[in-house]
């Protein structure tokens, strides 16, 4: 008798898009990759998107809400000591920028 083992689903990667990141209408990431969940900051927390929120606050908020990474177009944050310190304290969290 053949045993059936349960198939494991890949873990979803949850990305938070920064307020400066474009939000093209009609774009569905699931058409490309079903293991990625993308949430724009304006949809997640409009108050954070509306105000000039420090990047380190976004990192901590993202981690607290189960996000794996923040996607941003702001490379300057990678040269700011406070942001680098916050990232060094947040294990398994990433900032994706270019």
pLDDT digits (tens, 9 = 90+) for 33-79: 999 999 999 999 999 998 888 999 999 999 999 999 999 988 888 88
Q: CA 82 → CA 24, 25, 77, distances in Å?
A: 31, 34, 9
- Residue 5, pLDDT score: 61
Determine the 3-state secondary structure of 74 from DSSP.
coil
Q: What is the pLDDT of residues 38-48, one digit of tens each?
A: 999 999 999 99
Sequence spans of domains, the chain? 13-97
Q: Is 52 left (phi over 0), alpha (psi -120 to 50) or beta?
A: beta
Q: Quickly tell me which residue has 């569905």 as its tokens.
A: 28
């Amino acid at each position: 008798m053949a045993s059936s083992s349960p198939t494991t689903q890949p873990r979803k990667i949850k990305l938070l898009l920064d307020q400066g990141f474009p939000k093209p209408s009609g774009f569905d990431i699931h058409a490309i990759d079903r293991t990625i969940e993308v949430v724009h900051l304006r949809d997640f927390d409009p108050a954070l998107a509306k105000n000039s929120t420090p990047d380190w606050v976004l990192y901590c908020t993202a981690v607290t809400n189960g996000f794996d990474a923040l996607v941003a177009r702001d490379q300057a944050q990678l040269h700011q000591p406070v942001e680098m310190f916050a990232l060094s304290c947040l294990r398994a969290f990433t900032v994706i920028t270019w």
